[in-house]
Chains A and B, each alone.
Chain A
Amino acid sequence: MKLKKIAKHVGALGIACGLTIASFSAAAADTIKVGVLHSLSGTMAISETTLKDTMLMLIEEQNKKGGLLGKKLEAVVVDPASNWPLFAEKTRELLTKDKVAAIFGCWTSVSRKSVLPVIEELNGVLFYPVQYEGEESSRNVFYTGAAPNQQAIPAVDYLMNEVKVKRWVLAGTDYVYPRTTNKILEAYLKAKGVKQEDIMINYTPFGHSDWQNIVSDIKRFGSAGKKTAVVSTINGDANVPFYRELGNQKVTAEDIPVVAFSVGEEELSGIDTKPLVGHLAAWNYFMSEENAANAAFIKQWKAFIKNPKRVTNDPMEAHYIGFNMWVKAVQKAGTTDTDKVVDAIIGIEAPNLTGGVSKMLPNHHITKPVLIGEIQEDGQFLTVSKTDNLVPGDAWSDYLEGSKDLESDWIKLKCGNYNTKTKKCLGAAAQ
């Protein structure tokens, strides 16, 4: 009796948890469907909701221009609710039930890893807009965010050459992206002659809020008479208490600058920026970039979201580039068929929002400029360094054992992880 009741409750809970936005699948056959796979509830909603809105805006804009191949585009929005297995289920639903031509989605690496087998099995296309740890190249995924060589390595170069940093704190949240990135950075720093004793690595749990002794350790580590910097892969929510503690313990950006890879305009709009002023972030796009394309994009975004205070950020730009590349590829191929689009998209160029033109590479990554900015009081960035040329994304890091021999080329090699030493393609099994 009691068990039955519990089961009833659990069932009700399940329904509540899995509550999804009803996918509005219209009956009209003359539309091209585009899947939008971003969490609208749960922990990741904070970052991903914006990307859903960005996609809706881009699709609306394309429809105003007359759609694609003479058909209207139709967004199919699903909510994977920050639940990693649900990402795979929703992908399957989008590809089999809604038969979408392409999916734009995911934020965390673990959600992408969850989608990966499904998208490969059902031969779909996924555009992934967030900076990530690399070490992956799938035939069915296009990585429009930064690979480590487009964000982490240039940031370290900047600190090393411009700020003359000699000691390094690699601080991150304890999951795959910081761990892999820090492994690459540690190898890179050692290759540049930094000694083990001058590198301090620290991991904290998700949402860590008590930074007192870690900041105190960093302070002590930084007072050895050598210029010290913190390279932070600390994830979203833990950043506020971290920067607050830095501010309260009077660690200023002039003494120990912190360069972050996960703090952008959107995150800054939700925090009191006073303790962050002067700290750095490395991205491929800043809202403060001054050029006509960016100004138009910001204007369009503010009008679409009906809020003049909303900001734009790097993953939004990645979706902007990715969507435009996909549109061009479909126009070039004359069809939305996955195999043809995947071949057609290589070499396609689309303007980015920093005044250049990005290009899709055979390894399914794109070329991007790298920008280093200092956080200003208004939550925007003051660019202090920008690469002269666009940096091509590298799927396999050159600084990790086991990864430096791998190469990805979906045109000549037809392989995402070709080992240049053994002359063999490791195939999907090695992913």
Chain B
Amino acid sequence: MRNVLKPSGHWLLHVIVVLSFCFSATVFSQEAETSAEAGTTSAETISANVSNEANSQPEFDSLVKELTQGSLPARAQTAKKLAALKDERVAKIIGALQQGTLYATKDENPLVAIADEAGNYTNAISGEKIIGDTEELKRVPINNSMRSQLRTLLAQLNLTHQDATIRLDAVNRMIADGIDEDSISLLQELQKSEANDGVRKAIDSAVALFNLHSNDQQLRLGAIEVLKDSLQQEVRTALSEVASNDTDEKVKIHAQLAIKAIDSSIAKYRFAENIFFGLSLGSVLLLSAIGLSITFGVMGVINMAHGELMMIGAYVTWVVQQVFPNQIAYSLAIAIPAAFIVAGLVGIAIERGVIRFLYGRPLETLLATFGISLILQQAARSIFSPLNRAVELPVWMSGSLQINPVFSITYNRLYILIFGLLVFFALLVILKKTTLGLKVRAVSQNRAMARAVGVRANWVDAMTFGLGSGIAGIAGVALSQLTNVGPNLGQAYIIDSFMVVVFGGVGNLWGTLVGAMGLGIINKFLEPYAGAVLAKVLVLVLLILFIQKRPKGIFPQKGRAAAD
């Protein structure tokens, strides 16, 4: 059963947004407009269910106001009364309360408002925009028990919603809450009229779940037949109960067979899930190692400050979000080139200021760059404070692509995977197809000969180091979407980056790709058995053994370039 929750058009748009990142800023402005349109369309679908009729019944008004005041249990009761009114505005108000976007003033006759993502308020009762002073509006507080009560209420209200995805969510919510006598009659009625395939299937399994407990053996067998393809957790739980407790042998056997079929397809999806987790971890490793594979792999500089260059990229993301607080959705598109430039310039400064005096002396370079990394960390502490900075996740980066109840792919991981591969191939093109790339390769293979034919080796060194550092900055932007942005961000990734480069083969970009993905997948397959801590240890041990066997990594350099 495929429950694709997001319409495919929307999904494609997500991809476009990501793709836009690899283009320059001029292209960006056009792309931004397209995604801006996308933003408004989704906002419209949400507000579509609000009726703008101004026939405000007094009861409705007073209940909405009551909803924002008094004790939590009393307000939950109010919400129930409100839901019973069958007013079209109720779903939106309860939805807003559940999501924490319902605001109200704190006085006798409160003004109740719903906030949207852009920070605009609309009057919850009249549906009019609130213009002017919104200082007095405070978020209506809510706790977990009320949130789940509202969720159940909302599911019942949304069963007849015009948007199929919302109807599907509502049915699934009812399944999760348990089907009882009240809800079954409602569902059976809808079963006849439902036009959407996905929603009808969900209703079928809801009805079947209820029938599992009927007294009629035929009905129970029929229910098992319906449920045997479902991957929903509630279904498996219910079936296993039947398989062990049912009074009828035949029903028991059928249930057991159904469970077996469900389990084998769950196992398949878990395998796919593990592969994705591995690739996603690999893409993070790839992003953090790829800059290093240039500075360390191509130039031979052991740059211990590589992690701090990523940290700079992450801070750039934060600064960009501070400068454009209302444009979170596009902040990454600005942050990526900005981070590349800032980290690249810092890299060039490090190369010109320190490293160029130390070429050919790896130990000194190691110590000097380690010192630089400490200086950069403390500088971040002094400038941005030792506290972590909050980088917001744009809406299109949060959530997940639900393929079926046991397999979903989170968007931020998916985009970072795509982004990592794009950066990789862009770099490959730069090194293989551009003049700069040609000069970089020439200098790294034979410095004296390159200079003899007129290559400015110093300039190439600075540019190469700048390129590697700039890519570290870009990796920082990606990391800001996954983890903390703070002074210690770089430390966490420096070891992993070196590990990947050494494993893949120093000086070989493809090796970095294969190494990163390989380590990611190995790690994720070990983790379920060994636990996160031991998995890390095992990966390190395997790596050491591998290096013993093949000291030059998966793809060793061949020919004269390999001579050291």
Query: Which residue of chain B has its CB nearest to the CB of A222?
Result: B233
Say yes or no: is A43 at the interface (Cβ < 8 Å to chain B).
yes
Q: Which residues of chain A have C-beta atoms less than 8 A from B392's C-beta?
A: 272, 274
Closest 10 CB pairs of A and B: A270-B388, A223-B233, A45-B386, A254-B148, A248-B410, A225-B237, A9-B367, A209-B483, A204-B532, A212-B277
* Complex Cα gap A26–B302 (Å): 45
Task: Check B482–A216 contact: CB distance below 8 A.
Answer: no
A47 to chain B, nearest CB (A): 8
Pick 21 A–B contacts, CB within 8 A, sort by A. A10-B367, A43-B488, A46-B387, A46-B486, A163-B145, A202-B532, A203-B533, A212-B410, A213-B524, A237-B483, A237-B484, A237-B486, A240-B388, A241-B482, A245-B410, A250-B400, A267-B388, A269-B387, A271-B388, A273-B390, A274-B398
Range of interface residues on B (Cβ < 8 Å): 35 or more
Task: Check A16–B533 contact: CB distance below 8 A.
Answer: no
| Contact A41/B387 with A5-B364, A212-B277, A241-B482 known, Cβ cut-off 8 Å | no
Say yes or no: is A28 at the interface (Cβ < 8 Å to chain B).
no
A373-381, A387-395, A404-412: which one contacts chain B? A373-381
Most buried by B among A216, A249, A384: A216
Say yes or no: is B75 at the interface (Cβ < 8 Å to chain A).
no
* Complex Cα gap A376–B139 (Å): 10
The 8 A CB mask of A1-45 against B (1 = contact, 0 = none) is 010011001101100110000000000000000000000110101
Say yes or no: is A99 at the interface (Cβ < 8 Å to chain B).
no
Say yes or no: is A198 at the interface (Cβ < 8 Å to chain B).
no
Task: Check A223–B374 contact: CB distance below 8 A.
Answer: no
Say yes or no: is B408 at the interface (Cβ < 8 Å to chain A).
yes
Task: Check A254–B147 contact: CB distance below 8 A.
Answer: yes
Task: Check A205–B144 contact: CB distance below 8 A.
Answer: no
* Complex Cα gap A10–B370 (Å): 11
Query: Which residue of chain A has its CB nearest to the CB of B492?
Result: A207
Task: Check A202–B410 contact: CB distance below 8 A.
Answer: no
* Complex Cα gap A257–B148 (Å): 12
Q: Which residues of chain A have C-beta atoms less than 8 A from B455's C-beta?
A: none
Task: Check B393–A272 contact: CB distance below 8 A.
Answer: yes
Say yes or no: is B95 at the interface (Cβ < 8 Å to chain A).
no
* Complex Cα gap A271–B485 (Å): 9
**Given A212-B410, A240-B484, 17 other A-B residues pairs in contact with their CB atoms under 8 A:** A13-B371, A41-B378, A43-B488, A163-B144, A204-B532, A209-B483, A212-B524, A213-B527, A237-B486, A241-B482, A241-B483, A271-B388, A272-B392, A274-B393, A374-B144, A376-B141, A382-B143
Query: Which residue of chain B has its CB nearest to the CB of A270?
Result: B388
* Complex Cα gap A269–B274 (Å): 33
Task: Check B277–A277 contact: CB distance below 8 A.
Answer: no
A232 to chain B, nearest CB (A): 14
Say yes or no: is A154 at the interface (Cβ < 8 Å to chain B).
no
Task: Check A237–B488 contact: CB distance below 8 A.
Answer: yes
* Complex Cα gap A43–B363 (Å): 26
Say yes or no: is A134 at the interface (Cβ < 8 Å to chain B).
no
State which residues 448-488 of B face A: CB under 8 Å: 482-484, 486-488
Task: Check B387–A277 contact: CB distance below 8 A.
Answer: no
Q: Which residues of chain B have C-beta atoms less than 8 A from A384's C-beta?
A: 143-144
Contact of B374 among A17, A46, A249, A266 (CB under 8 A): A17
Task: Check B532–A240 contact: CB distance below 8 A.
Answer: no
Q: Dominant SS at the B interface?
A: helix
Task: Check A46–B386 contact: CB distance below 8 A.
Answer: yes
Say yes or no: is A191 at the interface (Cβ < 8 Å to chain B).
no
Task: Check B533–A270 contact: CB distance below 8 A.
Answer: no
* Complex Cα gap A9–B411 (Å): 45
Q: Which residues of chain A have C-beta atoms less than 8 A from B274's C-beta?
A: 213
| Contact A254/B484 with A223-B233, A223-B237, A248-B400 known, Cβ cut-off 8 Å | no
The 8 A CB mask of B380-415 against A (1 = contact, 0 = none) is 010000111111110000111010000010111100
| Contact A270/B486 with A9-B364, A217-B528 known, Cβ cut-off 8 Å | yes
B61 to chain A, nearest CB (A): 27
Task: Check A248–B412 contact: CB distance below 8 A.
Answer: yes
Q: Which residues of chain A have C-beta atoms less than 8 A from B147's C-beta?
A: 253-254, 278
* Complex Cα gap A41–B144 (Å): 38
The 8 A CB mask of A253-297 against B (1 = contact, 0 = none) is 110010000000011011111110110100000000000000000
Say yes or no: is B151 at the interface (Cβ < 8 Å to chain A).
yes
State which residues 149-173 of A face B: CB under 8 Å: 163
Q: Which residues of chain A have C-beta atoms less than 8 A from B273's C-beta?
A: 213, 216
Contact of A205 among B378, B386, B393, B532 (CB under 8 A): B532
* Complex Cα gap A361–B143 (Å): 35
Say yes or no: is B281 at the interface (Cβ < 8 Å to chain A).
yes
Task: Check B281–A210 contact: CB distance below 8 A.
Answer: yes
Task: Check A248–B374 contact: CB distance below 8 A.
Answer: no
* Complex Cα gap A431–B457 (Å): 62
Task: Check B533–A174 contact: CB distance below 8 A.
Answer: yes
Task: Check B488–A382 contact: CB distance below 8 A.
Answer: no
| Contact A210/B284 with A205-B533, A237-B488 known, Cβ cut-off 8 Å | yes
Task: Check B492–A9 contact: CB distance below 8 A.
Answer: no
State which residues 197-234 of A face B: CB under 8 Å: 202-205, 207-210, 212-214, 216-217, 220, 223-225
Task: Check A270–B148 contact: CB distance below 8 A.
Answer: no
* Complex Cα gap A270–B381 (Å): 14
* Complex Cα gap A41–B376 (Å): 12
Query: Which residue of chain B has its CB nearest to the CB of A216?
Result: B273
Task: Check B144–A237 contact: CB distance below 8 A.
Answer: no
Task: Check A374–B143 contact: CB distance below 8 A.
Answer: yes
Say yes or no: is B531 at the interface (Cβ < 8 Å to chain A).
yes
* Complex Cα gap A49–B284 (Å): 31
A286 to chain B, nearest CB (A): 13
| Contact A248/B411 with A13-B367, A45-B386 known, Cβ cut-off 8 Å | yes
Query: Which residue of chain B has its CB nearest to the CB of A44?
Result: B386
The 8 A CB mask of A108-141 against B (1 = contact, 0 = none) is 0000000000000000000000000000000000
Say yes or no: is A247 at the interface (Cβ < 8 Å to chain B).
yes
Query: Which residue of chain A has its CB nearest to the CB of B488?
Result: A43
Say yes or no: is A244 at the interface (Cβ < 8 Å to chain B).
yes
